[in-house]
Structure 1
Amino acid sequence: MTETANPTACIVVIGNEILSGRTQDVNVKFLATRLAELGIALREVRIIPDIEATIIATVNEVRAAFDHVFTTGGIGPTHDDITSQCIAAAFGVPWEPHPEAWAKMDRHYKPGEFNAARQRMATMPRGATLIENPISIAPGFSIGNVHVLAGVPRIMQAMFESLAPTLPGGKPIRTRAVHGRRLLEGRLAAGLAAIQARYPGLDIGSYPYYRGDDNNGVAIVAKGTDEAQAEAAIAEVSALIESLGVTPIPGEPPI
């Protein structure tokens, strides 16, 4: 798929709890969907541990390669929340109290409750711009093309919606799909390759599903910035499925 007019993005998921399997990440799905709606092409997702050298090296690598970088996780009040200071190190700037964040959080808490742990959440790289957090007050931040978000899904989503209106995007990336039950990928392969060749501006993917009993098959998804082309390609895929003696069903199969 060629989306040269669309900005590109990478998501960096930071957290030992993701890598250990203790916590299941749900933020990538949300961000991928919203970025497509904004016309930002998600190109890569990385999951990395709470290790300073790894965070610094990864952030510096991906911010040079993509138009937008979104990090999730590691900006809470505990000792293992090190994302903020690592971002400061990556940009070569001091990690210091952010005047606006500090004042906002100081006002929010009762006297004596804005303790040292919470003060960490108001300490950011010099020059950072705040990302509002309407859920739990402690903000995220942007510096350069790096946008630092919370790991807790509800808070991350609220932060992203605060940030979204400021993000330079492009033409929305549209998705169209069709599926066929009791259909094997191998029967579609040649015809699908020919359709992809006719629509080089689309990403056409084939995704088998196995749900048990009689609910197995293949879903075909066309994705791109040209909605009319996506619809035309899926119409051709539907005709291909029908030619194999299977009824094409619009959309993706139910979960």
Structure 2
Amino acid sequence: MTASDTSSSPALVTAAILVIGDEILSGRTKDKNIGYIAEYLTNIGIELREVRIVPDVQEEIVSALNALRSRQTYVFTTGGIGPTHDDITADSVAAAFGVSIDHDPRAIAMLSERFPADQLNEARLRMARIPAGANLIANSVSKAPGFNIGNVYVMAGVPSIMQAMLDALAPTLKTGVKILSDTVRAGLREGDIGTALAEVAKAHPDVSIGSYPFFSDEGPDTNVVVRSRDAQKLAEAMAAVKTMLAAEQARLGV
């Protein structure tokens, strides 16, 4: 793949995802959140820069969280805010920010909308433990809230709940200029166009150009994707890519 550096683009808002859970690392649970969040953020003008997956170990969570939140505009975490002993995300986030954590009356009120008082046992009340100073993220599915502290947004790992939380918090986020993209099928293998494509990318440093090989009924092929926040620069780069592809097809007799 060939890509140019787009870090100088205007109105850049960046993000990272921190996925928390032994079950993801073991393969027992297949992550369905990363792709959803990535597409969601792209559509609202936030560029996903990093994704990390860490186990249910507080030191690992704190270390990753502090690294990510120092580099990106936002960090979104998924997993580890449930009722069981290994759901330690809230405690870890509190530790990362150096604040206390306790049962939050607002969170208890949300849980009470679903559970009668006699069912709000110790395990369920764990989901109401919120770091001091955090804002709550509404959960229209199961009522147990997520929360936001600093530039970190803590969400559930269950996809339907995470998606509801993301919808709830999205209007509060700062967004940048949306990334536009265009795709052309090369009709050639990635190795056939790699050198020429690098030259096109070099000539258009303000766009991102990537090549993605695939197999079809006709054999190996490549999609070339051009991405930019500037529609004119996108069109100019795509025109150059198409000119290059036509030249390479002619050279190879395709």
Map residues 96-175 of structure 1 onto 2, 5 A cutoff: 96-175=102-181
Match of 2:182 among 176, 192, 207: 176
> By how many angstroms is 1:215 displaced?
4.4
1:185-196 → structure 2 map (5 Å cutoff): 185-196=190-201
Cα offsets for 1:83-129 (capped at 9, x unmatched)? 01110111111111112111121232123111111111111101110
2:240 is the counterpart of 1:236: yes
Q: For structure 1, which segment, 3-12 or 237-246, has the greater mean C-alpha deviation from structure 2 after superposition? A: 237-246
Matched, 1:216 2:220: yes
Q: Does structure 1 retain, via aligned residues, the 8 Å contact 2:15–2:75?
A: yes
For the residues of structure 2 that align with 1:39 and 1:217, how far apart are their CA atoms?
A: 30
Determine if the alignment matches structure 1 residue 84 to structure 2 residue 52. no
RCO comparison, higher one (Cα < 8 Å, 6+): 2
Distance in 1 between the 2:125 and 2:171 partners? Answer: 28
Q: CA deviation at 1:227?
A: 2.6
Q: CA RMSD in A?
A: 1.6
- Over 3 Å counting, the alpha-carbon distance change for 1:215 and 1:78 in structure 2 is farther
Q: Is the 8 A contact 2:10 2:177 kept in 1?
A: no
Residues of 2 paired with 1:80 and 1:231: CA distance? 50
What is the CA–CA distance in structure 2 between the aligned matches of 1:216 and 1:228, rounded to whole Å? 31
CA distance in structure 2 between the aligned counterparts of 1:45 and 1:166, rounded to whole angstroms: 22
Residues 228 and 23 of structure 1: CA distance in aligned 2, closer, same or farther (over 3 Å): farther
One-letter amino acid of the counterpart of residue 155, structure 1: I
Are the equivalent residues in 1 in contact too, given 2:113–2:143 (CA < 8 A)?
Answer: no
Note the C-alpha offset of 1:4: 4.8
Q: Mean alpha-carbon deviation: is it higher for 171-180 or for 65-74?
A: 171-180
Gaps of 5+ in 2: 1-5
Call closer, same or farther: CA 1:65–1:185 in 2, change over 3 Å.
Answer: same
Correspondence list, 1:33-112, <5 A: 33-112=39-118
TM-score after normalising by structure 2:
0.91
Give the Cα separation in 1 of the matches to 2:191 and 2:26. Answer: 35
> What is the TM-score normalised by the length of structure 1?
0.90
1:32 aligns with 2:43: no
32-41 or 160-169: bigger deviation: 32-41
Given that 1:36 and 1:174 are in contact with CA atoms closer than 8 Å, whether structure 2 keeps it comes out as: no
Task: Kindly provide the CA deviation profile for residues 176-215 of structure 1, in whole angstroms up to 9, marking residues without a partner as x.
Answer: 111234x11122122211221222111111111135x434
SS in 2 for 1:108: coil
Q: What percentage of residue pairs aligned between the two structures are identical?
A: 45
SS at match of 1:24: coil
The 10-residue stretch of structure 1 (103-112 or 68-77) with the greater mean CA deviation from structure 2 = 103-112
Query: CA separation of 1:16/1:219 partners in 2, compared to 1, >3 Å: closer, same or farther?
Result: same
Partners of 1:215 and 1:232 in 2: CA distance: 29
Displaced runs of 4 or more, over 6 A: none
C-alpha distance in 2 between matches for 1:227 and 1:140: 37
Say which SS state the counterpart of residue 44 (structure 1) adopts: strand
Instruction: Name the structure 2 match of 1:207.
Output: 212
